[in-house]
Amino acid sequence: MTIGTRFLRLVTATWLVTAAAAGQTRATRPLTEELEGDARSAFEQGKDLFEHGDFRTAHAKFRAAYEQSKNPRVLWNLAACSSREKRYARAIAEAERFLAEGGTSLSDEQVGRAVNFVREMRAFVAEVSLTVSPVDARVTIDRELAPTEGGTAKVFLEVGTHDLYAEKEGFEPLRSSLAIEAPTALARTIQLRPVVTAARLVVDAPADARIELDGTLVARGHFEGSVEPGAHRLRVEAEGRESYASMVDLVAGSAKTLSISLGEPQEKRSWWPWVIGGTALAAGAAVGGFFLLRPEASQEPQVPGTLGTVYLK
Domain spans, the chain: 3-123, 125-191, 199-259
**Tens digit of each residue's pLDDT (9 = 90 or more) over 43-60:** 999 999 999 999 999 999
Are the CB atoms for 283 and 229 separated by under 8 Å? no
pLDDT at 186: 93
> Is the pLDDT reported for residue 200 higher than 60?
yes
Sign of CA dihedral 224, 228, 234, 239: negative
**Tens digit of each residue's pLDDT (9 = 90 or more) over 204-220:** 999 999 999 999 999 99
State the average pLDDT over residues 231-236.
95
Same fold yes or no, 3-123 and 125-191: no
pLDDT at 245: 93
> Is the pLDDT reported for residue 164 higher than 50?
yes
State the average pLDDT over residues 19-39.
67
pLDDT at 201: 94
State the average pLDDT over residues 24-33.
64
pTM here is 0.53
Fold of 125-191: Immunoglobulin-like (2.60.40)
Q: Which of 59, 103, 102, 60 is nearest to 82 (CA)?
A: 59
Q: Which of 32, 19, 24, 30 is nearest to 107 (CA)?
A: 24
Q: What stretch of H or E contains 274?
A: helix 272-293
pLDDT at 296: 52
Reduced 3-state DSSP string for 129-156: EEEEECCCCEEEECCEECCCECCEEEEE
Written out in words, the top-level CATH class of the domain with range 3-123 is mainly alpha
State the average pLDDT over residues 299-312.
49
State the average pLDDT over residues 223-238.
93
3-state secondary structure of 24: strand
**Going by DSSP bridges, is the β-strand pair 125-133/186-191 parallel, antiparallel, or unpaired?**
parallel
One CATH from 3.40.50.11540, 3.30.750.24, 2.60.40.1120, 3.20.20.70 for 199-259: 2.60.40.1120
pLDDT at 23: 43
State the average pLDDT over residues 164-169.
96
Q: Which of 54-63, 134-143, 162-171, 249-258 has the lowest mean pLDDT?
A: 249-258
